[in-house]
Amino acid sequence: MKMTTVDVSSVSLVAVAEVACNHATTLTFPGQRSCGNGWSFVVRTLSVALIVVFFGQAELMAVSGESTVDSSGEFGTHDMFMLAPAGPVHLRLLITNGGKSLAGTRDAYLNRLTSALDSDKDGKVSREEAGAHPLFVSNTRFTGNKFLQSLRSRRPFSKEELELAVDRAAGQLVTYRQNNSLAEQDMNVFNVLDQDKSGSIERAEMRLAAASIAERDTDFDQCITFDEFLEQPTQVLPNVVVNSLADDPPGSVHADMLRDATEPVLAARLIRTYDRNRDRRLSFDELGWDVSRAKPLDINSDGQLDLRELAAISSGEPEMTLAVDLEQSSAGSLRLLASSFGDVKTDSDVIRIRHDALNLSISYRHRDPVSEAETNASEAFNQIDVDANGYLDRDEIADHQRFERYLFDAMDRDGDDRVFSNEMLDYVRDYTEPASTTCQITLMDSGKGFFQVLDENADGRISIRELRACEENLLKSNQGRPHIDPEQMMASFRIEIKRGGTSLFGRVDRPTIETPAALLAAPEGPIWFQRMDRNSDGDLTWDEFLGSRSTFHQLDQDHDSLIDKNEASLASKLDG
């Protein structure tokens, strides 16, 4: 018997009873299986209550999106579905933030906020006490107007109002984003390999791939990163101003392919995505699931799943369960707990899956949103402070509407008509801290994964060792075909998990074309080896080695003109 969790913010009691009817049949009386009126409704409602009593831990979903929390309160359980081309993939993420679930982290922040605002320690937060905090500052339209001032409520903030202010500022506990720009950029890698522009990579072009890729090493560090495959900007004549939106970093949007398992319209979204024959139902083949997995959802055993049956899809076991600690910055923050996929590789904080026609990488990137926002605010302060006198006045903010409208007065807490850097940073810290209680999960479409094919060890760059293996790796990805057609390549995606954040002065969380730090391999080997390895590709070339030629050849035991970490470690042991 399986229990389904229901979002009561958007589902009525009748809907809860319907779920109970489908998933708690062992608790109904004989003859009451149908979902009509009368006693069957009562029985279904009682079934829900019995399930709650029987399990002792039925948690109703909150709008925040946190599904369940373990008994210790350390982890919060968040289920999501990736709407992959071949079918939905059910993922479960156990999130902790320094020993607390996200809900526990937000509760702790709310308690700190209430205590800090209650300056007279009377157990209440008055409007005056909260007036200077960024969560309660909107504008200064009441200032100096006795009539408008009289319209403001004078009663203290209730706990619910404080919670609402925090939720409004921080957003949902888990937010989902999607970035599709990398898919277009991955085609630049293909274009470099497709030298004759025929639309496919021929056998001869595979043989010449290493030379073509090496030409992209614009910084001459003997390895090629993803951004070096991008088209170089054209030269602009002096004194000519070019206004181009292409110079902006690629941004992320709300995720269409990565959905919260608790959203009420998930079933409708599944039908809209996978219903090829438009009959408003999904066959097992359309869903991309085998019979053993899809059949428990097929209540009427007709081989088709309608909206009502698909509503219970999140009650099944996930295909992969992960755990992450958002506070940790070291390797091991992301852990694989369980997986039904056959081809899974783990490397530090990156987990890679090959499943059907899908390449999926899941990574964690540590993020300090308060520090990011402070850096962002300091840069904005220096740009606005044109006379560099260490403070902002009203003349300097005249061209900045948001500052002029209410930020200046909100930050100027001592009322001297000047905003110093410490006043701005204090305001920014208070403004950003609520976002630290959230987690942001971004799905990045990497296109057909040409760069991943070349980047054999998945460290975010193509090294000399990998350049030598380019032809071999391209042949492997080709799977015996005479040429490589982009349409025949597996779709590649990456999911990045990090703490949420926000900024007053432009976004600080936009994904860039550069390789995220989470995908760069951590330095390994003896200290002297790490220091000589200037491009951090895990190998020493003769150009990087600081010793004599004879010593280099002695250390290079396999005579491949590269010293790897194992050869360096062996030399250190013999020397020690």
Asked if residue 238 has pLDDT above 50, the reply is no
Q: Which of 91-105, 171-185, 200-214 has the lowest mean pLDDT?
A: 171-185
**Pure H helices in 131-275:** 146-151, 159-170, 181-193, 203-207, 209-214, 266-274
Distance CA 26, CA 505 (A): 57
- Give residue-wise pLDDT tens across range 440-457: 999 988 888 788 788 877
The pLDDT assigned to 477 comes to 79
Q: Where are the domains of the chain?
A: 1-60, 527-575
pLDDT at 518 over 60: no
- Please write the tens of the pLDDT for every residue from 308-321: 999 999 999 999 99
Q: What is the pLDDT of residue 235?
A: 47
- 226: tokens are 């993803």
Find all residues with CB under 8 Å of 222, minimum gap 6, and list them. Answer: 463, 464, 535, 537, 541, 543, 544
Given a cut of 90, whether residue 88 has pLDDT beyond it is yes
Mean pLDDT of 388-404: 84
Which pLDDT does position 43 carry in this prediction? 41
Q: Which pLDDT belongs to residue 280?
A: 94
Q: What is the pLDDT of residue 76?
A: 92
pLDDT at 521: 58
Residue 131 has pLDDT above 70, yes or no: yes
pLDDT tens digit string along 400-413?
Answer: 776 766 788 888 88
One-letter amino acid of 454: L
pLDDT-derived band at 485 (thresholds 50, 70, 90) equals confident
Residue 526 has pLDDT above 70, yes or no: yes
pLDDT score of 152: 65
Most distant CA pair in the chain, distance: 92
What H or E segment, with its residue span, contains residue 377?
helix 369-384
| pLDDT band per the 50, 70, 90 thresholds, residue 481 | confident
Percentage above 90 pLDDT, the chain: 36
Residue, of 12 and 509, whose pLDDT is higher = 509
- pLDDT at position 347: 72
